[in-house]
A and B are shown apart, each in its own frame.
Chain A
Amino acid sequence: MAIASISVSETPLVLYTLRRADDALILGHRLSEWCGHAPMLEEDMALANMGLDLLGQARELYSYAAKVEGRGNDEDKFAYLRDVRQYRNLLLLEQPNGDFAQTMVRQFFYSAYADLYWRAMMKSSDATLAAIAAKSEKESAYHLRHTSEWMVRLGDGTEESHARAQAAIDHLWAFTGEMFEADASERGLIDAGISVDSASLRPQWLKTVADVVDEATLALPKNDWMQQGGRDGRHSEHLGHLLSELQSMQRTFPGAAW
C-alpha cells in the first residue's frame, strides 16, 4: 500500500519557494550519494559539507513554502510525498554524479549561479527569503571557491583529467540555460521585488564561469541549445529513480513518524 502524493496549492510564492527548495534538496541528495566513496578522504569531508549546506537550505525553504501555503504541509511532506511531476528543480541538479569531474562541473555551474542569486536575493522585499539568502550566500560563495579550485586542477592537471573535465562541461552545458529563465508566475514576484530577474545574472555568471574555465585550460561549448522543463516538472529519467530511493521509507510505511 503506497500513500498518495500530497496536493500543493502552487500560488506564485509557494511555487517559487518550492523550486528553490527542490534545487537544494536534489543537489544535496546527489552530493550525499558520494559519502564514503570520494576520491580522497579530505574530499569526502568537503562533499558532505556542501551537501549539508544544501540540505539546510532545502529545509528552510520547504518550511517557508509550507507556511505560505498554510495547508498543513511541511518539509517532509514536500520532500517525500510529491511525485516526479510535482518536483520543480533544475534539470542540471538531478543529473547523476557520474565521475568526479561531472560532479564538480555540475556543482561549479550551479554554485557560480547560486552565489550571484543569493547575493541578489538578500535585497528581496520578502524578509524570510532575504534571511535565507543571507545564510545561503556565504555557503554558495564557499562552494564556488572550492569547485573553482577543482576545475582548475582537473582542467590543468593530467591529460586524463582534462579530457574528463571537458567531457563533463560539454555534457552539462545544455542544462545551464534553465537557471536564467523566469515564467509568467515569477514575473509578478520580480515586479514586486520579492524575486530577482535571473536573466540579469547571466552576464556575470558567464564571466565567472568563463574565467575559471579559461584558467583551467578548458573551453565552453559553442552550442547554445538549452534544455528546459525542470521548473514545470518535465524532468529527465534520472529524477524518478532518485525519488524512488529518497521516498522509499515514506512510501513503504504510510503515515509513520521516524
Chain B
Amino acid sequence: MATPNTPLWEVFIRSRNGLAHKHVGSLHASDATMALQAARDLYTRRGEGLSIWVVPSSAITASDPADKGMMFEPAESKIYRHPTFYEVPDEVGHM
C-alpha cells in the first residue's frame, strides 16, 4: 500500500533582526504547530534563526515562468526610475 502524504510546508527564517525572513526549504508535518517545531529542529540546528514562518505549500500562488516576458520585461525599459539616468555635475557633490 502506498504511504499517504503528509502536508508539505515551506519554511522561512529570519537569521537576525533587521533582516527579512528568507525561504530556506520545506518539510512535511501534519499541522502548523508540528511544522513549526520541525522547522526549528531541521533548519536552526546551528543558530541560523531568530524567527520562523511556516506556510502550507498549497497556499502559495506563484507566477508562471512562461509569463516572464509580460510580467517582468516591461519594467526593464523604465530606466528613468534609476538614479544613474540623471546627470548631476561632479562639482555638486554626492546626491
**A–B interface present (Cβ within 8 A):** yes
Contact B28 A149 (CB under 8 A): no
A49-B41, A49-B45 in contact; A42/B33 too (CB < 8 A)?
no
User: Contact: B45 with A42, CB < 8 Å?
Assistant: no
Residue from A42, A49, A146 in contact with B29 in the complex, judged by beta carbons closer than 8 Å: A42
Q: Is A242 an interface residue (CB 8 A)?
A: no
A153 CB within 8 Å of chain B:
yes
A251 → chain B, closest Cβ, in Å? 32
**Interchain nearest-CB distance for B47 vs A (Å):** 13
- The closest CB in chain B to the CB of A42 belongs to B38
Set of chain B residues within 8 Å of A256, measured between Cβ atoms: none
Bound state CA distance, A145 and B33, in angstroms?
Answer: 10
Contact A149 B37 (CB under 8 A): yes
Q: What is the number of residues of chain A that contact chain B, defined by CB distance less than 8 Å? A: 10
- What is the CA–CA distance of A153 and B30 in the complex, to the nearest angstrom? 10
- Which residues of B are found within 8 Å of A43, using beta-carbon distances? 38
**Residues A40 and B41 in contact in the complex (CB < 8 Å), given A149-B33, A149-B34:** no
C-alpha gap A42/B41 in the complex (Å): 8
Contacts of A42 in B (CB 8 A): 27-29, 34, 38, 41-42
B18 to chain A, nearest CB (A): 23
- Count of residues in B whose CB is under 8 Å from the partner chain: 12
Cα of A46 to Cα of B6 in the assembled complex, Å = 17
Q: Taking the complex as formed, is A45 at the interface, i.e. its CB lies under 8 A from any CB of chain B?
A: yes
Closest chain B residue to A43 by CB distance?
B38
Contact yes or no, B28 A46, CB < 8 A:
no
B43 to chain A: closest residue by CB: A45
Could you tell me the distance between the alpha carbons of A67 and B27 in the complex, rounded to whole angstroms? 44
Contact B45 A46 (CB under 8 A): no
A145 to B28, CA, bound (A): 19
Closest approach, in angstroms, between the C-beta of A157 and any C-beta of chain B?
Answer: 9
Name A46's closest neighbour in chain B (CB-CB).
B41
Determine the residue in chain A with the shortest Cβ distance to B44.
A49
Contact B38 A46 (CB under 8 A): yes
Q: Which residues of A have CB within 8 Å of B28?
A: 40, 42
- With CB as the reference atom, state the residue of chain A lying closest to B31: A153
| Bound-state Cα–Cα, A49 to B39, Å | 12
Q: B49 to chain A: closest CB distance in Å?
A: 14
List residues of chain A with CB within 8 A of the CB of B6: 40
Distance in Å from the Cβ of A43 to the closest Cβ of chain B?
8
Using a CB–CB cutoff of 8 Å, the interface residues on chain B facing chain A are 6, 27-30, 33-34, 37-38, 41-42, 45
- Which residues of A are at the interface with B, using a C-beta cutoff of 8 A? 40, 42-43, 45-46, 49, 145-146, 149, 153
A-B contact pairs, 17 of them (CB 8 A): A40-B6, A42-B27, A42-B28, A42-B29, A42-B34, A42-B38, A45-B38, A45-B41, A45-B42, A45-B45, A46-B38, A46-B41, A49-B41, A146-B37, A149-B33, A149-B37, A153-B30
5 tightest A-B CB contacts, nearest first: A42-B38, A45-B41, A46-B41, A49-B41, A45-B42
